[in-house]
Amino acid sequence: DMVASIFAAKAMIEEGIIPDNSINLAFVSDEETSSNMGLYYMIDSAGPLFNDDDLIVVPDSGNPEGSLIEVAEKSILWLCFKTIGKQCHGSNPQLGNNAFVAASHLVTKLVKLKKLFPRSDPLFDPPQSTFEPTKKEANVGNINTIPGEDIFCMDCRVLPEYDLQDVMKAIQIIVQGIEKQFKVQIEISTAQYVQSAKPTSPDAPIVQMLTKAIQEVYNVKAYAGGVGAGTVASYIRKKNCPVAVWSKTNQTAHQPDENCPIDNMLGNAKVFAHLFLQK
């Protein structure tokens, strides 16, 4: 949808249309790996790029119908757990301490987080916080070795009402219990830690204007909702600026057949142009 925004602005120039409001397009890098070298750097280094009365759209999320206007995001917590035991030969397990066994028990204990942070918010889909073990690194290269080290990772998407520090404290208590039970050492490293910003109000001007534009272009009634994925909108919201995240997308990002239909690009460009012309 970077293309769609360029289409819309280019069409305004070619038609000689001067809107009542100025149009600014921001092309930022590093979104997939934290934005520390992209939007975050720009905002922190270049002074006030956005004002609280700006009408800001981030075309970074959406649905196939073009009906979802994202106004809230869950906090993101990515953790890696390194369990350290003692390696030994598989025929003499008593001489070692199986890090894989301890790590496996830890995985099952971390399920408790769902009960510790049980609240739900219908704004989101799914409405609850999620705590999912994901990546598992190889430990030993052969079957007859008891692993002395084991690493797995976890992806947590937490409702904005919870403080990630409280989640970390709960995880530490669970980890300490496993360390004591299996006499291992467990190191926790943080791959991503993003406390979500205050949601944008569904009544914010940009949400209402975008709703009108979507109705006019796509003949679809849009609604405000929340997502578990993270976008650069979160950091702008932390600067107390209302942001609407929207795009009509077929949701194939990060898949082997990732694509963007030209019809979507053209339709989204019309939505942006409609926004440019609203007063």
Provide the CATH number for the domain around residue 133: 3.30.70.360
What integer is the mean pLDDT of 160-173? 98
Closest CA to 29 of 42, 44, 47, 48: 42
Residue 160 has pLDDT above 90, yes or no: yes
pLDDT value of residue 255: 84
Q: Does residue 42 carry a pLDDT above 90? A: no
CA dist., res. 79 & res. 207, Å (int): 34
Q: pTM of the predicted model, to two decimals?
A: 0.84
| Mean pLDDT of the chain, nearest integer | 94
pLDDT tens by residue, 231-273: 889 889 988 899 999 999 988 887 899 888 999 999 999 999 9
Q: Which domain holds residue 92?
A: 75-194
pLDDT of residue 36: 79
Q: Are residues 214 and 234 in the same domain?
A: yes
Kindly tell me if the per-residue pLDDT of 34 is higher than 80.
no
Looking at the structure, tell me whether residues 63 and 97 fall in a common domain.
Answer: no
Q: Is the domain of 189 the same as that of 95? A: yes
The answer on 137 and 46 residing in a single domain is no
Model pLDDT, residue 235: 86
Higher-scoring residue by pLDDT: 170, 44:
170
- Which of 178, 194, 210 represents a domain boundary (last residue)? 194
